[in-house]
């Protein structure tokens, strides 16, 4: 079976845990979009890991992990990430697409300089070079992995590339130029390091599909950060949708049979942009500290996440745009302290109530309309059967399921791999 695990919201929905959990039954786990700009947190018998580029199957020796063509390959941070896994005594299998593009030193610098230049108008970028990377990719001046091994061609390409980059650095940002020969040397080091892993991963995956292998396509971020369908321009620079997995991994679109969409039992978001059901002040602080396994702080950046009540309007949209065939709700245990639960079931804008997701300008002005429900007020960690949950917890899940119009097939009641309730 080919299954995509993707986020319904702003990212950080707990995809890492669910992917790690489902990985047991997979032969191959694939990263097909994004880059090192976001991270999954995985807690298992080996420890607690923040994965940024490595697919979540690395903890299982029988799995082939694929970094596919759609990924922005940050070779320097990949090397560090691989080292933490190796240091934990874990052996893994990895393939890197020969058509993945390589994140270059100037991408990160441009990201930093551009945010500096924008000042108050900045996007809240993670400054990992993702937007400049994708600008270069779609301007067709980026470097695909195979180009690293054609040395003369590469040197010439870099000379032309940095002629332009340095004009921008000098005149737009007032910064020092980059020496393309230094970049060349760095890229040659990357080339050596990744060489054992480089392969035609699209062909590998197409063959695996023919052989009936179980493949897991692992998404990064969530629907609302999708370049086209998210809260533009507060989005990421690549598609976060399951539909993009076909392009980002080089497989037929119809091969993806199952789209498991992950959503948290409350909302959390990083970066700028509208967030209708956002909480502030003490209420937010309490949820932020209690959220996730160690509070709601970014796995890559450590930035405090913005938190709020569950937004059924945004999540229904997030599920529909992903094409959800099933939903997994994570972090239900986090809400155990709340006296009253709030679910945002409508947006009030310009005197009307909307139940459809709106464009960014309207979202900024929209006020949440809440449906309230009583809390369950007891610890639900340790429960292993959905039916044993308190009635109020089941009512909450089932109310949300109705709002989403998709089966909530799994409920996660703790960060560990085995803390999962099937329905
Ligand atoms: P991802 O990028 O979608 O994988 O999400 P993150 O890893 O950034 O954030 C999810 C956080 O929630 C991590 O710290 C997980 O360990 C944690 N987590 C996942 N599922 C649960 C759950 O059911 N309960 C609790 N308390 N934490 C969870």
- DSSP 3-state of 91: coil
Q: How far apart are the first and last CA of the chain?
A: 20
Task: Give the Å distance between the CA of 389 and the centre of ligand 1.
Answer: 20
Radius of gyration over alpha carbons of the chain, in Å?
A: 22
Residue 255, C-beta contacts closer than 8 angstroms, at least 6 positions apart: 2, 209, 246
**Ligand 1 center–CA 159 separation, angstroms:** 44
Residue nearest to atom 21 of ligand 1 (CA): 415
* Dist. CA 185–CA 183, nearest whole Å: 5
Q: What is the pLDDT of residue 317?
A: 98
Name the closest-CA residue to atom 12, ligand 1: 292
Distance 154 CA to ligand 1 centre (A): 41
Indicate the DSSP class of residue 36. T
**Mean of the per-residue pLDDT values of the chain:** 94
Other C-beta atoms closer than 10 Å to the C-beta of 419 total 21
Quick check: 380 pLDDT over 90?
A: yes
pLDDT tens for 150-168 read: 999 999 999 999 999 999 9
Ligand 1 atom at minimal distance to the Cα of residue 19: 4
Helix axes 105-118, 180-194, angle to 10 degrees: 120
Does 60 qualify as catalytic in the annotation? Answer: no
What's the CA-to-centroid distance between 352 and ligand 1, angstroms? Answer: 35
Cβ atoms of 39 and 305 closer than 8 Å: no
- Of 56, 55, 76, nearest to 66 (Cα)? 55
Residue nearest (by alpha carbon) to ligand 1 atom 20? 415
Is 62 known to be catalytic? no
- CA 199 to CA 369: how far, in whole Å? 51
- Pick the catalytic residue from 20, 24, 27, 40: 40
Q: Which is nearest to 339 in space by CA: 377, 294, 285?
A: 377
Supply the DSSP symbol for 387. Answer: G
Position in ligand 1 atom list of the atom nearest CA 420: 23
| pLDDT band per the 50, 70, 90 thresholds, residue 299 | low
- DSSP label of 70: T
Ligand 1, pocket residues at CB < 6 Å: 7, 11-17, 40-41, 43, 292-293, 299, 330-331, 333-334, 412-415
Check pLDDT > 70 for residue 121. yes
Question: What is the tens place of the pLDDT at every residue in 209-229?
Answer: 999 999 999 999 999 999 999
- Residue range 86-102, pLDDT digits in tens: 999 999 999 999 999 99
Q: Which is nearest to 368 in space by CA: 244, 249, 267?
A: 267
| Residue appearing with tokens 């180009």 | 147
pLDDT tens figures, 14-65: 998 898 888 888 999 999 999 987 777 788 888 888 889 999 899 899 999 9
pLDDT at 417 (0 to 100): 86
Catalytic hit among 12, 111, 311, 333: 12
CA distance 80 to 174: 31
Does residue 302 carry a pLDDT above 80? Answer: no
- Among the listed residues 99, 124, 126, the one whose alpha carbon sits nearest the alpha carbon of residue 36: 126
Could you please report the per-residue DSSP string of 211-257?
Answer: TT--EEEEEEEEGGG-TTTSSTTSS-SS--SGGGHHHHHT--GGG--
Task: Indicate the SS3 state at residue 304.
Answer: strand
pLDDT score, position 300 = 62
Q: Which atom of ligand 1 is nearest to the CA of 298?
A: 8
Q: Inform me whether the pLDDT recorded for 291 exceeds 70.
A: yes
360 in Cβ contact with 273 (< 8 Å): yes
Distance 12 CA to ligand 1 centre (A): 7
The ligand 1 atom nearest the CA atom of 17: 19
Residue 198: per-residue pLDDT: 98
- Give the model's pLDDT for residue 107: 96
From CA 300, how far away is CA 303, in angstroms rounded? Answer: 8
Secondary structure class of 316 (helix, strand, coil): helix
| Residue of 203 and 24 predicted with greater confidence | 203
Mean pLDDT, range 243-253, rounded to an integer? 97
């Amino acid at each position: 079976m080919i299954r995509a695990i993707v986020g319904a919201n702003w990212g950080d929905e707990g995809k890492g845990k669910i992917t790690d959990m489902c990985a047991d039954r997979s032969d191959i786990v694939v990263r097909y979009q994004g880059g090192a700009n976001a991270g999954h947190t995985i807690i298992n018998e080996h420890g607690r890991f923040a994965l940024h580029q490595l697919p979540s199957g690395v903890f299982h020796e029988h799995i082939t992990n694929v970094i596919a063509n759609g990924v922005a390959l940050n070779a320097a941070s990949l090397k560090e990430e691989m080292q933490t896994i190796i240091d934990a005594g874990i052996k893994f299998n990895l393939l890197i697409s020969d058509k993945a593009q390589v994140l270059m030193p100037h991408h990160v610098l441009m990201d930093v300089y551009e945010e500096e230049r924008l000042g108050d108008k900045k996007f809240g970028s993670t400054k990992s070079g993702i937007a400049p990377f994708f600008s270069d990719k779609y301007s067709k001046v980026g470097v695909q992995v195979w180009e690293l091994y054609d040395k003369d061609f590469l040197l010439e390409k870099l000379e032309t590339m940095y002629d332009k980059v340095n004009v921008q650095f000098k005149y737009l940002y007032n910064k020092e130029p980059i020496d393309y020969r230094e970049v060349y040397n760095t890229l040659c080091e990357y080339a050596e390091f990744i060489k054992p892993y480089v392969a035609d991963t699209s062909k590998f995956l197409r063959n695996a599909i023919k052989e009936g292998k179980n493949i897991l396509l692992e998404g990064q971020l969530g629907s609302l950060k999708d370049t086209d369908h998210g809260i533009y321009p507060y989005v990421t620079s690549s598609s976060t949708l399951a539909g993009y997995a076909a392009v980002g991994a080089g497989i037929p679109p119809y091969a993806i049979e199952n789209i498991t969409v992950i959503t948290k039992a409350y909302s959390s978001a990083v970066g700028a942009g509208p967030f209708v059901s956002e909480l502030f002040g003490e209420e937010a602080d309490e949820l932020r500290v209690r959220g996730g396994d160690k509070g709601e702080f970014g796995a890559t950046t450590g930035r405090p996440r913005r938190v709020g009540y569950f937004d059924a309007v945004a999540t229904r949209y997030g599920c529909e745009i992903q094409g959800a065939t099933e939903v997994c709700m994570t972090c239900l245990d986090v809400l155990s302290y709340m006296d009253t639960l709030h679910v945002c079931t409508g947006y009030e804008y310009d005197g009307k109530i909307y139940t459809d997701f709106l464009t960014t300008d309207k979202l900024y002005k929209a006020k949440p309309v809440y449906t309230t429900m009583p809390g369950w007020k007891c610890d639900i960690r340790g429960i292993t059967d959905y039916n044993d949950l308190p009635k109020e917890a089941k009512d909450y899940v089932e109310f949300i399921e109705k709002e989403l119009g998709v089966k909530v097939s799994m409920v996660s009641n703790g960060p560990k791999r085995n803390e999962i309730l099937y329905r």
